[in-house]
Structure formats: structure tokens, C-alpha cells
Structure 1
Amino acid sequence: MPQTLQYRPVLIDSLISNERINSYQSVFHPANDVELMGVYLWNAHVCGALFPLIGAVEITLRNAIDQALVADLGRFWWAGGKLHYRSFAPGVDAPHPVQAVRDNFAKATRNHTAEQRRRHEPTLTAWFTAGGAALRSYGNGTARRGLAACAAQCRQARIAQDRNKGRASRP
């Protein structure tokens, strides 16, 4: 650490909160500001080194929980109210964390269902009829392809009507 750099007031007092710096001082008892910043930076490096490990543990734990619940309750264990809170005391409402988890899973189920409908079911936006031709508009862009075919059918129907009018008006 450079000895010529002034760590206070600019670096320590304005960039790092007093609560955070005080926790380093109470645990490590640095002799001066240089040691204090050294401990602070050492902690940042240790945390950075542990972060990938913590991430791997989280993923492993989540996958293990999912595998256990899939084996017991099926692939979509989170849907349809399959998880139930069991209290040992009769008539007791679920605690707030349990209710929050229920609400989150209910929301996830609704979002999943809505996404599946949006992706896989056609959304009717308009029906156009002209000369017997109809076009159904889908949310995935097929309306544009069908619009050209509908326009061609309409043109053919108008041409046929014009021909029939011309023949009918001749003596």
C-alpha cells in the first residue's frame, strides 16, 4: 500500500461508510489507515474468491431441492398448490414466510400459464372479410403473410364482380 496516499478524509470517510470501517477496526485492530485499507482490500479479495463457490453451492442446493420435489410431487411441483404447510398446532395460520412462498409460487404459476398461452395459442386481433375471404391475425406474425393472400383473393373477387356487372348491363 502506498504510504504517501492520504486515506482520510477523501477515501475512507467519503467513500466507505463509518459503520463498515468501524467493523474492520473492531475486528482487525489496524495500527494506522494504511493497515485499515489493506484489511479492507484483503476482505474484498477473499469475498471475490468465495463468490463463485457460494454460487455453485446455491445452484447445487436448488437442484437438489428440485430433484427431491420432482420425485415426490412431479415435474411441475410448484404449480397447482401441491405444497402444503403442515402445522403441529391445529387452526394456526401459515407464518408470513410460508405465505410469501405460497404467493410467489402462485404468481410464478400464473406467469408460466400466461407465457404458455401467449407463445402457443393464437391471439385473435381482427377478422377481415371481403369478397368471402377471411383473415385471422395471430400474435406471432402470420397475419402479414395471410394479409397478402387475403388481398389477392379480394382483388380476384372484385374482378369477377366487375366482369359479372359488365355482362349483366349488356343488351
Structure 2
Amino acid sequence: MVVFSSLRPSTRGLMAVMPILRRSPQTPSAIKQAGPVVLATRGGGGGNAMKLKPGMYMDRLWRDGVHFFILLGTIPVLTVITLANLVLPQGELTDLPEDRVPQTWEYHQHPITRFIAKHIVRSPEKLYETNMALVHIEEEKRRLRKLDAQVKRVMLNRQDIRGWYFFQGATDSRQISQDDYKESKGTAW
């Protein structure tokens, strides 16, 4: 490779001279008219520098990954939608027996919408019951807060009941020594 790259400047000089030599016979007057031939032997410096630019490898890799995963998702989805529209029938209204209650997903006409309503989305009855359970819990919390405030108000007004966080202290010296021993040893008498 080094040999070929070192020969490149000399071949350029020869190529510049070759048209002149072909047109005229090789006489001393023709060579004088062509002028002196300057051949470069080295191309070591100057303007033909390699320009640095950011690489495109990671960009192309990212784009290829995005395209792959988009197609990985869209091709099966489009296939299922096409098959559902071509093969499965649309829903029709029919009379039901009086003892049968229709399910919520049976009200939808399109088969894909029926599938989504049956297997993915919660039924309206479940949503209603869930919301009512949350409302009941919040109502119980409100009722207990109200009762707590009422109890505190009555205790403050009457001032004849000990507080909720009152603990009976030991009055007997023997009881005090037993409590201290239990705490230090962790065993009962």
C-alpha cells in the first residue's frame, strides 16, 4: 500500500505530460514548448487532509432498532385487524330469552371492540362497585373523625375522664421495684 501511495504523485505528473507528448513529435522544439515537467515525489503536507465528521454507526443502529421494533409491533397488529375484519362477523341485534341477562361486552358490534371490552377493560359494574367501596371507606373515615372530635370536646367540657393516653402509675414501692426488675431482666417473678 505504501508503494502505491508513493507512486500516485508521480503518475499524476506523467498524466499531465502525456497529452502534450502524444500531440507533438518528440523533438527538442516540442519539449521546449511543453515547458519543464515538475514531478512531486512526496505528498506529505498540504490541503488534502481528511476531514473529521461524526460517525453514523450509532445513528443507523438506533434507526434500525426503532424500525425493527415498530415493524415487530405493527405487522402482527395489522394482520390481526385485517383477519378480524375479513373473517369474523359483525355483531347483530337479536332477541334474547327473558331469563338471560346480556353481558356488557355483548353490546359492542365490532369483534375487536368486543374482545377489548371482555378481556382488557373492566366492566362498568366492577368500576361502580370499586368506586362505591372507596366512597364507603372515605365516609367511614369522616364519621370516625367526627366522632373523635365529639369525644374530645365532651372530655374537655366535663373534665372528669382521664385522657386516652393515660397509664396508671405504680403507687406501691414494691410494685415499682418489680417493674424495674421485669424491665432489666425480661422475666416475670
Q: What interval of TM-score do these two structures reach, taking the shorter chain for normalisation?
A: under 0.3
Greater relative contact order, per chain length (Cα 8 Å cut-off, separation 6+): 2
TM-score (norm 2): 0.24
